[in-house]
Amino acid sequence: METVSEVIAFGGTQGVYTHASESCSCDMTLAVFVPPQTKYKPCPVVWYLSGLTCTHANVMEKGEYRRLAAELGLIIICPDTSPRGDNVADVADNWLIGKGAGFYIDATQEPWAANYRMYTYITEELPALISDKFPADINRQAIFGHSMGGHGALTIALKDPGRYKSCSAFAPIVHPMTADWSKTALSAYLGGEERVWRTHDAVALIEDGATFPELLVDQGGADASWKMVCARGCSRMPARMQASI
């Protein structure tokens, strides 16, 4: 891992780093905020997954999470949203697929399968790297995301509920199988069989019985997709999640 930059913020350190990713077969960039409490003990981790067209830098530069993270003693990790590089497949004139639109899934179709393995990157490779390079208490993890990142946070947590102490999503893509701005990517990355898409769709996962004990979703009550979550899956949701809707 190589250091791109490190600055002091609220007594902690905001860093940007690059590393050679085995999962994505390219160099990946991430931002990590390390709070001052790590001088004395390992600290819990919050994963922040960004949305379409974003990089690691968007929330780092526009969202001031550092003050509260320093107060609470939280390591905040902001990965990139897709693989990058000259040899990475892309559709230059379509922001809904390719670079900046990894959708936090492992692609199975060419030419995407060679690099677009964001699910494995987020759930396996990056936790191992963070555990090795930072004073992280990896047994205490939370995951949070916005838009496409909210989709990623929800689906990742629903498929591995024992790993995360909390899962939050702000304005997430909750039903990518039906949304115009995600169907293109799912079809390209995973092929045309919608049954395969279901394991990457929060609505379908809940409909098929997936659950999470502490799931907080900040989503407008008038949103049609979220109403569909309620209609199809509320009987299988934990009481806290139902109460937040």
Average pLDDT for residues 181-192, to the nearest whole number?
92
Average pLDDT for residues 98-110, to the nearest whole number?
96
Q: Percent of the chain at pLDDT above 70? A: 87
Which residues 6+ apart lie within 8 Å of 70 measured at CB? Answer: 9, 10, 11, 12, 35, 36
Instruction: Note the pLDDT tens digit of each residue in 153-170.
Output: 999 999 999 999 999 888
DSSP state of 37: G
The token duo for 176 is 């990518």
Domain of 157, CATH number, reads 3.40.50.1820
On the question of pLDDT at 227 being above 90, the answer is: no
For residue 183, the enclosing domain spans 2-244
Q: Which residues of 24-57 are buried (b: 16+ CB within 10 A; e: fewer)?
A: bbbebbbbbbbbbbbeeebbbbbbbbbbbebbbe
On the question of pLDDT at 239 being above 50, the answer is: no
Number of structural domains, the chain? 1
Average pLDDT for residues 142-155, to the nearest whole number?
95
Instruction: Note the pLDDT tens digit of each residue in 208-220.
Output: 999 888 666 555 6
Average pLDDT of the chain to the nearest whole number: 89
Residue 226: pLDDT band (50, 70, 90) is low
pLDDT for res 13:
97
Residue 84: pLDDT band (50, 70, 90) is very high
Instruction: Give the position of tokens 């900040």.
Output: 218
Q: Percent of the chain at pLDDT above 90? A: 77
